[in-house]
Amino acid sequence: MSERFDCIVVGAGPAGIACAYELAKGGAKVVLIERGEYPGSKNVMGGVLYRQMMEDVIPGFYKEAPLERPIVEQRFMMMDKESAVTFGYKGMEWGKEPYNNFTVLRAKFDQWFASKAVEQGALLINETVVTECIVEEGRVVGVQTDRPDGEVYADVVVLADGVNSLLAKSLGFHKEYRPDEVALATMEILKLDKKIIEDRFNLEPNQGCTIELFGDATNGILGTGFLYTNKDSLSIGVGTLLSGLIKHKIRPYELLEYVKNHPMIRPYLQGSEQQEYLAHLIPEGGYKSMGKVVGNGVIVVGDAAQLVNAIHREGSNLAMTSGRIAAETILLAMQAGDFSEALLDRYRVKLMNSFVGQDMKKYKDSTHHFDKFPQYFDQYIPMMNRAASQMFTVDGKSKWEKQKKIWKDIGSPREKIKIARDAYRAWKVMK
Partner 1 sequence: MLHIVACIKQVPDTKIIKMNPKTNTMDRASAPAILNPYDAHAVEEAVRIKKKYGGIVSVLTMGPPPAVKAIKKCIEIGADEGYMISDRRFAGADTLATSYALTKALDKIQKIRPVDLILCGKMTIDGDTGQVGPGIARRLDIPPLTSVKKVEAVHQEEGHIIVHRKIEDGHEVIQSTLPCLLSVEKEINEVPYSSFPNMIKAARYDPVIWSVDDLEDVDIKQLGLKGSPTIVAKVWAPPKPEGGKMLEGSPDDQVDQILSVILEKKELFQAKGGS
Which parts of this chain interact with partner 1 (CB under 8 A)? 2-3, 31, 37, 123-125, 128, 145-152
- DSSP string for residues in 256-275: HHHHHT-TTTHHHHTT-EEE
Closer to partner 1 at the Cβ: 80 or 155? 155
Q: Which CB atom, from 114 or from 185, has the smaller least distance to partner 1?
A: 114
Q: Which backbone phi and psi does 87 adopt, to 5 degrees?
A: -135, 165
Q: Kindly state the smallest distance separating residue 23's Cβ from partner 1, in Å.
A: 16
Q: Which is nearer to partner 1, 182 or 190 (CB)?
A: 190
Rounded to 5°, the CA angle 248-249-252 comes to 100
Least distance to partner 1 from the beta carbon of 32, Å?
A: 9
One-character DSSP codes across 194-250: HHHHHHHTT--TT-EEEEEEEEGGGTTSSEEEEEEE-SSEEEEEEEEEHHHHHHHT-
**Closest separation in Å from C-beta 299 to partner 1:** 22
Q: What is the dihedral of CA 78, 79, 85, 88, to 10 degrees?
A: 50
What's the min distance (Å) between Cβ of 103 and partner 1? 20
CA-wise closest residue to 129 among 10, 16, 301, 17? 10
The one-character DSSP state at 136 is E
Residue 128 vs 385, nearer CB to partner 1: 128
Least Å distance, CB 350 to partner 1, is 31
DSSP assignment of 49-72: EEHHHHHHHSTTGGGTS---EEEE
Q: Rank residues 114 and 318 by Cβ distance to partner 1 and give the closer one.
A: 114
CB of 193 to partner 1, least distance (A): 16
Given the complex with partner 1, which of 109 and 287 has the nearer CB atom?
109
Q: Are 378 and 218 in contact (CB under 8 A)?
A: no
> What is the sign, positive or negative, of the torsion defined by CA atoms of 383, 386, 392, 395?
negative
Residue 94 is given by DSSP the state G
Rounded Cα distance between 20 and 167, Å, is 18
CA distance 186 to 127: 24
CB of 2 to partner 1, least distance (A): 6
Closer Cβ to partner 1, 79 or 167, answer by number: 167
Nearer to partner 1, 82 or 146 (CB): 146
β-partners of residue 278 are 187
Nearer Cβ to partner 1, position 64 or 401?
64
Q: Which of 402, 407, 372, 404 is nearest to 390 (CA)?
A: 402
Q: How far is the CB of 191 from partner 1 (least distance, A)?
A: 12
Give 271-323 as a 3 state SS string.
CCEEEEEEEEEEECCHHHHCCCCEECCEEECHHHHCCCECCCCECHHHHHHHH
For 6, the enclosing helix (H) or strand (E) is strand 4-10
Smallest separation, CB 150 to partner 1 (Å): 5
- CB of 76 or CB of 112, closer to partner 1: 112
Least distance to partner 1, CB of residue 335, Å:
26
In this structure, what are the phi and psi dihedrals at residue 150, rounded to the nearest 5 degrees? Answer: -90, 10
Closest of 193, 260, 275 to residue 227, by C-alpha: 260
